[in-house]
Amino acid sequence: MRLATARIDGRTRAVRVTAEGYADLGEPDVGTLLARDDWATVEAGEPLSPDSLAPVVPHPGKVLCVGLNYRNHILEMGRELPEYPTLFAKFADALIGAREPIELAPESAAVDWEAELAIVIGSTVRRASEQEAAAAIAGFTVMNDVTMRDWQFRTKEWLQGKTFEGTTPLGPVLVTPDELPGGVRPKLAMTCTVNGEVMQKTDTSDLVFDPVALVRYASVITTLRPGDVIATGTPGGVGHARKPARYLADGDVVVTEIAGIGRLENVARSM
């Protein structure tokens, strides 16, 4: 199953995405849909013609992110493999749709790209077992954890560089695990290009902590609820690690794609 949050005439609607197009699911967005116990069996209604796609979950209660979770990226940054996941957070105000512009804040001169597989939670869990964690995964989507590196490294805490408003595309769709090779531990090719040049290329099987492990770990700390998002980390190839470093400029086109899920295409725009 493929779900999206569509924008139509200034409002949003949860839709099912099929080869024929988009069908209304009777809820204002995917997050609201997932809060229903019967979300997986809701019958599609009338066809819709969206103006655009919003973030697949526009108002998640939590956006948890994982740092340093791809083996190749950890080695690229000169670090050892971690014993535990490195967690930080974003706020919903950072999220944008699959084709909306990435805001380049004038306060930052080091805006970087980070392609990521994101987990979307479909049921409430706390201190989840492995089986409960797997069952709580509604599906997966694509994120680019756009980061203001100069703000991120002002202190040892990363939050301030990770959640600038209007920077983080999430979408275009949620795909349920049954449609993906590897299911709740998907094995998918992921790429990020900037102006057509491949910057990041990996397979999601290179994750140190897989999606089930991340749900289990996060659920010890806090209750995970339908619509919550966990970004699983980025592979090697970020601009900050290049010699010399490379960052986004006005007009740059950032394409983030995960096979079997979809494609984000966002233009960086100075504010």
Confidence band, pLDDT 50/70/90 cuts, at residue 210: very high
CA–chain centroid gap for 48, Å, is: 25
- Give the span between the Cα atoms of 74 and 78, in whole angstroms: 6
Alpha-carbon dihedral angle through residues 250, 252, 258, 259, given to the nearest 10 degrees: 150
Averaged over 46-50, what is the pLDDT? 92
pLDDT for the residue numbered 79: 79
The string of pLDDT tens digits covering residues 98-133 is: 999 999 999 999 999 999 999 999 999 999 999 999
The string of pLDDT tens digits covering residues 67-104 is: 889 987 777 777 788 899 999 999 999 999 999 999 99
CB of 30 within 8 A of CB of 17?
Answer: no
Give the lowest-confidence range in 18-22, 117-121, 220-224. 18-22
Other CB atoms within 10 Å distance of the CB of residue 178: 10
CB of 39 within 8 A of CB of 122?
Answer: yes
- Give the span between the Cα atoms of 29 and 250, in whole angstroms: 31
Other CB atoms within 10 Å distance of the CB of residue 243: 5
172: nearest Cα among 53, 266, 78: 53
Averaged over 198-212, what is the pLDDT? 95
87: nearest Cα among 33, 9, 145: 145
Please report the domains of the chain, with CATH numbers, ordered by start residue.
Answer: 1-54 (no CATH), 57-270 (3.90.850.10)
